[in-house]
Amino acid sequence: MDSLWIAATGARSILRRQDVITNNLANVNTVGYRGAQPQFRALPVYGEPLPSNAYVATQGSSSDFQQGPLMHTGRSLDVAVQGPGWIAVQAADGSTAYTRNGDLRISGNGLLSTSDGHPVLSQNGTPISVPQMQSLQIGADGTISGVPAGSPASAAVVLGRIQLVNPPAAQLQRGVDGLFRDTQGPAQPDPSVQLAIGALEGSNVNPVHAMVQMLDNTRAFEMQTKLMQSLGQDQQAAAQLLNVS
C-alpha cells in the first residue's frame, strides 16, 4: 500500500462528504428533514515501510437531531412535534417507521397520511381512517376529533389518536426512504410528546453552513488530487532513474 493509494482514500472520502452535503442542500425545504453527517474512520497502515501512516475508511453517516424552525401555517392538519419525538407512520413495506413531517392530509382511500403518502399510525399501530367530515381537528396530544358530514356541531366524535414516540436517538437509523426506524423494534407511545397545531417544522439544515462546507470540500479535494499528481510524477521519475541505473 503506497502513499498514492492513501491519498486516493482521502479524496474518495471528500467526495462522499460532498454527496451528503449536496443531499442536505437538496432537502433544505423538506418539512421535518434531519440533516445527515458523514462519518469516517482513520485506519492504520500496517507493515513496512510506513507503519505510522493511516488511510480513510467511510463508516456511513449519522443524523443531526436538532429541531428545525417552526413555521406557522394556520392549517388545521399541519402539526409539528415540539422538542424530541416522532410521528409513527407505516412505511411502504408495512413496517413501522418515524418521521417529523407533520404536513398531514386525507388520502384518496380515506387514511390520514403525510404529504409523501405514508399512513399515520394510531396508538394501536394501525392506520387512522377518517370518514367524511365537515370539520376535523388535531389536539396537542395527537387526538383526532371532528364533526361528521351532515351532523350538528355538537355531534363531535373522537376518531383516534396519533402515535407519538420518543425512542433514544442512538437507536434510530435512517432508511433509504428517508424515514427513521428503531433498531430495537417499534417504540412504545410516549404521552409526553406534544404537537404544535397549525405549524410545520422546517428542515434543520443551515444552507449557509452547508455552502461553506461545500467550498471547503472543493478546496480539500483539489489539494488531494494535486498530491496524487505529485506522487504519481515522483513514482514515474523514480522508475526512470531505476531504468537508467
Q: Would you list the DSSP string of 182-236?
A: ETTSSPPB-TT-EEEETEEEPP---HHHHHHHHHHHHHHHHHHHHHHHHHHHHHH
CA distance 38 to 58: 8
Which residues contact residue 69 at a Cβ distance below 8 angstroms, ignoring those fewer than 6 apart? 201, 202
Q: Are residues 20 and 117 in the same domain?
A: no
Grid cell of 58 as nine digits = 467511510
Q: Are residues 212 and 193 in the same domain?
A: no
- Same domain? For 80 and 190 the reply is yes
Contacts of 106 (CB under 8 A, 6+ apart): 77, 112, 113, 130
Judged against a pLDDT cut of 60, whether residue 8 lies above it is answered with: yes
23 and 80 co-located in one domain: no
**What local confidence, expressed as pLDDT, does residue 1 receive?**
44
Burial 75-112 (b: 16+ CB within 10 A, else e): eebbbbbeeebbbbbbbeeeebbbbbbbbbebbeeebb
Cβ atoms 71, 203 nearer than 8 A: no
Least confident of 114-123, 150-159, 164-173: 150-159
Distance between CA atoms of residues 243 and 245, nearest Å: 5
- 92 and 126 together in one domain: yes
Tell whether 162 and 46 lie within a shared domain. Answer: no
Residues 42 and 145 in one domain: no
**Residue 200 in contact with residue 171, Cβ under 8 Å?**
no
pLDDT band of residue 91 (cuts 50, 70, 90) is very high
CA distances from 186 to 88, 164, 172, 191, 197 (A): 9, 12, 11, 16, 25
SS3 161: strand
Q: What percent of the chain has pLDDT over 90?
A: 62
Higher-confidence residue: 100 or 220? 100
59 plus 153 within the same structural domain: no
Is 180 in contact with 186 (CB distance < 8 Å)? no
Determine the average pLDDT of the residues in 14-20.
83
Q: How many domains is the chain built from?
A: 2
pLDDT for the residue 62: 84
What long-range pairs does 150-155 form, CB within 8 A, spacing at least 24?
Answer: none
What domain range includes position 119? 70-201
Point out the least confidently predicted range of 21-35, 161-175, 209-223.
209-223
Under a CB-based contact definition with an 8 Å cutoff, are residues 138 and 76 in contact? yes
Q: Distance (Å, rounded) from C-alpha 100 to C-alpha 33? A: 7
Same domain, 86 and 53: no
39: closest CA among 17, 11, 22? 17
